A and B are shown apart, each in its own frame.
Chain A
Amino acid sequence: MNIFLKEMKSHRKSLIFWSIGMFLMVASGMVKYESLASSGQPMNDMLAGMPKSMLAVLGIGDFDISTATGYYGLLFIYLLLMATIHAAMLGATIIAKEERDKTSEFLFVKPVSRNRVITAKLLSAFLNILLLNLVTFVSSVGLVGKFSNGEVVTKDIAITMVGMFILQLLFMVIGSSLAAIKKKSESAASLATGVLLLTYVISVAIDLNENIESLKYLTPFKYFEAKNVMFGGGFEFIFVLLSCVLIAVLTLATFLFYKKRDLNV
């Protein structure tokens, strides 16, 4: 409990900044929607004239961006990127920082097992990403609702947020397992964000080229895409299963490898 509280406290500031960032991201996106919607231009016609690859790179895809929820669907990928970068970095640094700051010679000579330390740290990281997710959810419902002209938005946003949370968890344990496995754990955070960017690039590549669609299992960004889960689409069982298995395996790896490894003192 003491380690958990200590971690919550030491990540409080960073969580507040990320939350503000998340809110501003949603707000600025929806303000842009408002100016587009009020300009009276038929946006869909304009987009229809653009090449498909360009739409794919911009993440616009098949959304009806003349509606508030459609526009939000477009915005979602950026929220997802932010939330997963936060999760990956948090997962890696919460484990690696004891060695980075040379505090491991303080913490690990206390009467606690390594498993207990990892449990406390992962629980703290879990609560951090949950809070960031809730901030995003509340900001999204509030701000999208404001521009939706009475359209019901909560349900569509909620389902994207559930998807986002699963991916946050996944990237958190990707980060933590890298920090647990690597001897030089300081580099785990940059490695985890590297993995994240790589999988994101793969997901964009799949949008550009339908021939490589089978690669979608390799990139979590394809698991719960807004365009698939919103508007009554829901989750695909295979991706939920795949995420759960990956999260379980990587969590286990975090515990096992950290327990066996020499601390970098």
Chain B
Amino acid sequence: MNVIEIKNLTKTYGKARGISDISFNVEEGEIFGFIGPNGAGKSTTIRTLLSLIYPTSGSATIFGKDTVQFAPEIKKEIGYLPSEVFYYDNMKVKDLLNYSASFYKKDCKKRIKELAEIMDLDLNKKIDDLSLGNKKKVGIVQGLLHEPKLIILDEPTSGLDPLMQQKFFELLEEENRKGATILFSSHILTEVQRLCNRVAIIKEGKIVTVEKISTLKENTYKKFKVETKSTLDPAYFNLKGVNKLETKDNMTSFLFKGNINDVMRKIADIEISNLWIEEPDLEEIFMHYYEKEA
């Protein structure tokens, strides 16, 4: 079942680029990454899903219901963490969380305490006095206190130290195990790689590809680095599917896409002293998608 279905969603703001013709689905129970650099349209897409802004054309459904028409109903089961958190001045953390909880028809007191403990958040402080990282924690607790079925996160890790980030990811994985679906928007690839099953890559307001993280990696280049005993003919590895062939002294490196046996046979025929075969990280794949059309 799809929790989020986005169909040809377009949002234009006057002359400025918004998003155009975006379509993808997020399935129940998955952690879905939404990745692209700043200004690519991630926040615009999310804000349209939340009916903070309305689509110019196209539509989206969440839990099978139209996001504009049934906005208040859908939001009962959504927890959202915006990229920049700003809260009402002059409120204590506790007051804000209780205010947030008052919108949901369930008792969230226990969950607030649990979350505050996990995230190491002082409930009695004034929000004004908190650091950026601590404000972010308030945002996290605020987004999760009603145990939502769909969690939408827009650049959630900025301002969190690595330790907190780790705790936060564990918290998300725990929520996911309990059945929550997560849409995770980010421009940091390693965190998406760490957390997500599938990913949509957005570029200049358009979706470039939607793939499983594992497929993304399979369908791309492998990096070979071969160290030989003697100097090698630079043309030796010049096969079909080889790219960026470089030879320096006894070191030969290249990227390869295709049947890996072809390369292995070639390597077996020569005397080597060392060999490295590496998976490209998501960063390199990502750059590949970005450079292709540049």
Residue contact B104 to A2, C-beta cutoff 8 Å = no
Contact partner, B86, options A2, A103, A111, A113, Cβ 8 Å: A103
Contact sample, A vs B, 23 pairs, CB 8 Å cutoff:
A2-B99, A6-B99, A10-B90, A101-B88, A101-B89, A102-B86, A103-B86, A103-B88, A105-B86, A106-B82, A106-B86, A106-B87, A106-B100, A106-B142, A109-B50, A109-B75, A110-B75, A110-B104, A111-B76, A111-B103, A111-B104, A262-B52, A265-B47
- Cα distance A102–B86 in the bound complex, in angstroms: 6
Residues 78-107 (chain B) with a chain A CB within 8 angstroms? 78, 80, 82, 84, 86-90, 99-100, 102-104
Q: Which residue of A lies closest to B90 (CB)?
A: A10
| Cβ contacts under 8 Å, A103 to chain B | 86-88
Count of A-B contacts judged by CB separation below 8 Å: 60
| Cβ contacts under 8 Å, B104 to chain A | 110-111
Query: Does chain B have a CB within 8 A of A48?
Result: no
Query: Does chain A have a CB within 8 A of B289?
Result: no
Q: Which residue of A lies closest to B79 (CB)?
A: A109
- Report the minimal beta-carbon distance from B149 to chain A, rounded to whole angstroms: 13
With A105-B47, A110-B103, A110-B104 given, can you name 11 additional A-B contacts, CB distance below 8 Å? A101-B89, A103-B87, A103-B88, A105-B52, A105-B86, A108-B51, A111-B72, A111-B76, A116-B72, A262-B53, A263-B53
* 8 closest cross-chain pairs (CB), A and B: A102-B86, A110-B103, A262-B53, A2-B102, A105-B82, A111-B76, A111-B75, A109-B80
- Report the minimal beta-carbon distance from A263 to chain B, rounded to whole angstroms: 5
Query: Using an 8 Å CB-CB cutoff, how does the interface string of A252-265 with B read, 1 for contact, 0 for none?
Result: 00000000101101
- Report the minimal beta-carbon distance from A2 to chain B, rounded to whole angstroms: 4
| Cβ contacts under 8 Å, B76 to chain A | 111
| Cβ contacts under 8 Å, A105 to chain B | 47, 52, 80, 82, 86
- Cα distance A105–B75 in the bound complex, in angstroms: 12
Query: Using an 8 Å CB-CB cutoff, how does the interface string of A86-130 with B read, 1 for contact, 0 for none?
Result: 000000000000000111111011111100100000000000000
Residues 38-83 (chain A) with a chain B CB within 8 angstroms? none
Residue contact B52 to A265, C-beta cutoff 8 Å = yes
Residue contact B53 to A265, C-beta cutoff 8 Å = yes
Q: Is the interface of B mostly helix, strand, loop or mixed?
A: loop
| Cβ contacts under 8 Å, A112 to chain B | 72, 75, 103
Residue contact B71 to A113, C-beta cutoff 8 Å = yes
Contact residues of B with A, CB < 8 Å? Answer: 47, 50-54, 71-76, 78, 80, 82, 84, 86-90, 99-100, 102-104, 142
Residue contact A263 to B88, C-beta cutoff 8 Å = no
- Report the minimal beta-carbon distance from B73 to chain A, rounded to whole angstroms: 7
| Cβ contacts under 8 Å, A262 to chain B | 52-54
Report if A109-B72 is in contact (Cβ < 8 Å); known contacts: A10-B88, A102-B84, A103-B88.
no
| Cβ contacts under 8 Å, B72 to chain A | 111-113, 116
Residue contact A263 to B52, C-beta cutoff 8 Å = yes
| Cβ contacts under 8 Å, B80 to chain A | 105, 109
| Cβ contacts under 8 Å, A116 to chain B | 72
- Cα distance A265–B45 in the bound complex, in angstroms: 13
| Cβ contacts under 8 Å, A265 to chain B | 47, 52-53
- Cα distance A101–B86 in the bound complex, in angstroms: 7
- Report the minimal beta-carbon distance from A104 to chain B, rounded to whole angstroms: 7
Residue contact A108 to B102, C-beta cutoff 8 Å = no
| Cβ contacts under 8 Å, B75 to chain A | 109-112
Contact partner, B73, options A104, A106, A108, A111, Cβ 8 Å: A111
| Cβ contacts under 8 Å, B47 to chain A | 105, 265
Residue contact A2 to B52, C-beta cutoff 8 Å = no
- Cα distance A112–B74 in the bound complex, in angstroms: 10
Q: Which residue of B lies closest to A261 (CB)?
A: B54
- Report the minimal beta-carbon distance from A11 to chain B, rounded to whole angstroms: 12
- Report the minimal beta-carbon distance from B279 to chain A, rounded to whole angstroms: 38
Residue contact A108 to B52, C-beta cutoff 8 Å = yes
